Amino acid sequence: MIFGRFKRKDDEERDLDEALDETDDSQDDDVEVTDELDEADDSEDDLDEWERLDASRDWREDGPFDISEVDLDADEVERLDFGCVVLTPFEGIQMQLQVDQRTKKVQSALAMAGPSAIEIALFAAPAQTSMVAEIRDEMIAATQKSGGKVSLVEGPFGTEVRRIIPMTDPKGNRVFHVSRTWFAEGPRWLLRGVVMGEAGQASGVDGVSELLYEFFSNSVVRRDQQPRVPGDLIPMTLPSSMAASVPGSDPDERPDV
């Protein structure tokens, strides 16, 4: 991480909890367990193991970040500002953009590092609940329907979806598309990273995956206040400084399934 970070609300709450613990050490009064805590325990029982994994910790502690959590003026790094997403360039990474020629909106950004790549796209998400489990179920169903294989593992941002999907190349040969999908949820947004190539076949974030992991982690989301349907793609804005002629892309869509 390069830019400065503001103290997040959960960090402030942790500091307060630590202060309260020091005060409570000198008290022997019994603490009454509230119904609210009981309800929280019951709700956790309704989650599957992967939802529990996602809820077990703050997977965004080291990024990706919301714009409210960082100070982009704390350094002199020249970043790529696509409006709703700000990306930090790294040496060794090349980028391609998928752009709607009519609206000039960037649908996704493809960062390539040698034989590996990650496609980053931003989607609207609910304010209070997570939609990742629903998206995973859709991905699993679609992968199985296509005759592919899918598995869930613990990844760097919670549950990671690993897929092998059979395809036919332009020459009619049967090939397989191998990928790993990462999800990062912030305030009313969901950032998706689809890792492909050598890194898509690897595990963890070391070796061929490390640079792509750093690139994804250093992403900063600047979601607008416009009402959106959860799951809708939030298009990026093509910077005026970039070339006007960029290859087109597919229309808006829900997270790839």
| Domains in the chain: ranges and CATH | 9-55 (no CATH), 65-237 (3.40.1000)
Which amino acid is residue 144, in one-letter code? Q
25, two tokens: 């050490």
Q: Structure pTM?
A: 0.79
**Residue stretches of the chain with pLDDT short of 50:** 15-16, 19-20, 22-43, 245-254, 256-257
Which pLDDT score is estimated for 41?
46
Instruction: Locate 95 and state its tokens.
Output: 């980028």
Q: How far apart are CA 228 and CA 237, in angstroms?
A: 17
95 three-state secondary structure: strand
What pLDDT, on a 0 to 100 scale, did the predictor assign at position 103? 78
pLDDT for the residue numbered 117:
97
pLDDT in tens, 171-192: 999 999 999 999 999 999 999 9
Q: What is the pLDDT of residue 239?
A: 72
Classify 171 in phi/psi space as left (phi over 0), alpha (psi -120 to 50) or beta.
alpha
